[in-house]
Amino acid sequence: MKFIETIKIKKQQLSNIDYHIKRANLTIYDHYNIKFNFEKVIQKILENIKIIDDDIYKLRIVYDNRDYEYSIEKYILKPIKNFKIVRVEDFFYRYKYLNRKKLDSFYSQREDYDNIIIAVNDFITDSYYSNLVFEKNNEYFTPDTYLLNGTKRKYYLDNKIIREKKITIKDLKEFDSIHFINAMIDLNEIVIKI
């Protein structure tokens, strides 16, 4: 079984790296019941890559308990202007698996929309590739029914920038806007007004 970590490199620095290391180590422990040193993987990769500018890069690491491979590319933020709500039942996605077939099947239902928001049993979870943050009166809330506890989501929660809240489909109209966040996308970078 393969897993994936996507890490933002900004101004030649790895963003949020402690959260990625912790998640990867926990993922391997939970699946193989062994201690894993993802920090060593990161160190080996950094010995082989050279970044000479301050652009934003995406470092993609595919790994399991024995091996890893990586790629790096310049990152271009893709805007999201609209979304479709896809309703599903009893779907769980606790770990960041390389195999995303089920998520891909949800995403294929988007029709002409830029992205999807997945509602499990009418509770809002995540979009296809990001966590969600809902803004109301300059306060930020993220669904407590998330699928994947993303590294950026965890960082914002730990730093009390956002708070968890149960959010259903019918609750959406109570908010001013939706922010899409992930390892590559910060709060306020992709925002859709409701």
Count of other CB atoms within 10 angstroms of residue 67: 9
pLDDT band at residue 146 under the 50/70/90 scheme? very high
Domain-ending residue, one of 15, 44, 74: 74
Does residue 154 carry a pLDDT above 90?
yes
Per-residue model confidence (pLDDT) at position 50: 85
Q: What is this structure's pTM?
A: 0.94
**Cα–Cα distance, 128 to 111 (Å, whole number):** 14
**Burial grade of 113 (CB within 10 A; 0-12, 13-18, 19 or more):** middle
146/170 Cα distance (integer angstroms): 17
Q: Let me know whether 120 and 156 are in one domain.
A: yes
Q: Are strands 139-143 and 163-165 parallel, antiparallel or unpaired?
A: parallel
Residues 90 and 18 in one domain: no
Average pLDDT, the chain: 96
| Number of domains observed in the structure of the chain | 2
- With the C-alpha atoms ordered 71, 83, 125, 143, is the resulting torsion angle positive or negative? positive
Write the pLDDT tens digit of every residue in 79-106.
999 999 999 998 989 999 999 999 999 9
Burial class (CB in 10 A: 0-12, 13-18, 19+), 56: middle
Residues 94 and 187 in one domain: yes
User: Residues 55-77: pLDDT tens digits?
Assistant: 999 999 999 999 999 999 999 99
